[in-house]
Amino acid sequence: MVIEDQERLEEAADFLRALAHPVRLCIVRRLLREGSCNVSYMQDCLDAPQSTVSQHLSKLRQAGLIRGERSGLEVAYQLKDERVAKILRALLCGADEEGAPHGDEEAATPCC
């Protein structure tokens, strides 16, 4: 395997690893739909503690999927770039409005 190929595969694996949690998928889906959200909004719609939401945002930020823009005391998060948005559209196109894959109503996670 060529080193460049290995690096690309590692990058893809890191990207997928960052998305490998229902809460993080919900967060990026909301950012894809809305363009921008703050932690308070995500906390309310996910019905999760602020610390939990912040941990998930941190993982997404470290993986290079999202970025935050500070405005006063608030930070508005958005997808980092169109490449990320394009991949997420392809990944999430089969999810219903509740965030669960079709036919998997039991596994639905509260989603923004």
Phi and psi at residue 24, to the nearest 5°: -65, -35
Instruction: Give the count of beta carbons closer than 10 Å to the beta carbon of residue 51.
Output: 9
The domain containing residue 14 runs over which residues? 3-96
DSSP 34-69: HS-EEHHHHHHHHT--HHHHHHHHHHHHHTTSEEEE
Whole-prediction pTM:
0.76
Reading the block at residue 37, the tokens are: 């959200």
- Determine, yes or no, domain membership for 101: no
Convert the pLDDT of each residue in 20-70 to its tens digit. Answer: 999 999 999 999 999 999 999 999 989 999 999 999 999 999 999 999 999
- Determine, yes or no, domain membership for 27: yes
- Determine, yes or no, domain membership for 106: no
What average pLDDT does the structure give for the chain? 84
Instruction: Give the count of beta carbons closer than 10 Å to the beta carbon of residue 2.
Output: 7
19, 13 Cβ separation under 8 angstroms: no
User: In the chain, how many domains are there?
Assistant: 1
